[in-house]
């Protein structure tokens, strides 16, 4: 049985604040996921895979299989900066098209809620906030994909 999944078009709001500086101001970043037509990727001379796609999609191949994941890094002013609030605002859900439903493996567990994840990354002594999220959710109420 296929689990209902909805695609997400959303704004992602990130607010950062530095605790080490009393004059620090919060920063806000907004992003919108721009969905594109499915991608057909050859995996061998005789075989292809169809992938859901949005601008800047990342395909890590972890527990979400071939689903695209939103991934971005934001430079922080200091390694002492903290994420006070990480949220999705104004989400607009729309059902997958019939041709897109086949892109989701039956073995992939789609969560009921979209949960952005963040972590602090320091690369070459430059602190960055890494944000990832799976822009899909399972809708138990409608039963639609």
pLDDT digits (tens, 9 = 90+) for 3-34: 344 444 444 444 444 344 444 555 667 788 88
- Using DSSP's 3-state secondary structure scheme, residue 37 falls into strand
> Which pLDDT value is given to residue 68?
92
Higher pLDDT residue, 44 or 105?
A: 44
> Which pLDDT value is given to residue 70?
92
pLDDT interval class at 1 (50, 70, 90):
very low
pTM: 0.70
The C-alpha atoms of residue 98 and residue 110 are separated, in whole angstroms, by 18
Sheet holding 126-133, edge to edge: 70-75, 126-133, 117-123
Residue (of 62, 78, 65) closest to 117 by Cα position: 62
The residues, ordered by sequence, that sit 6+ positions from 102 with a Cβ below 8 Å of its Cβ are: 50
How long, in residues, is the chain?
145
Sign of CA dihedral 64, 66, 67, 68: positive
Query: If you average pLDDT over residues 83-103, what whole number do you get?
Result: 78
């Amino acid at each position: 049985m296929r689990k209902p999944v909805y695609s997400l078009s959303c704004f992602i709001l990130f607010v950062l604040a530095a605790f080490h500086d009393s004059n620090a101001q919060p920063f806000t970043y907004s992003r919108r996921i721009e969905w594109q037509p499915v991608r057909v990727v050859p995996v061998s001379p005789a075989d292809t895979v169809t992938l859901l796609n949005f601008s800047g999609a990342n395909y890590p191949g972890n527990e979400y299989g071939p689903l695209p994941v939103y991934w971005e890094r934001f430079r922080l002013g200091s390694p002492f900066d903290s994420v006070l609030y990480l949220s999705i605002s104004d989400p607009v859900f729309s059902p997958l098209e019939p041709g897109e439903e086949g892109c989701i493996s039956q073995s992939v567990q789609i969560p009921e809620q979209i949960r952005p994840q963040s972590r602090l990354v320091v690369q070459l002594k430059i602190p960055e906030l890494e944000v990832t999220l799976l822009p899909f959710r399972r809708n138990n109420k409608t039963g639609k994909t």
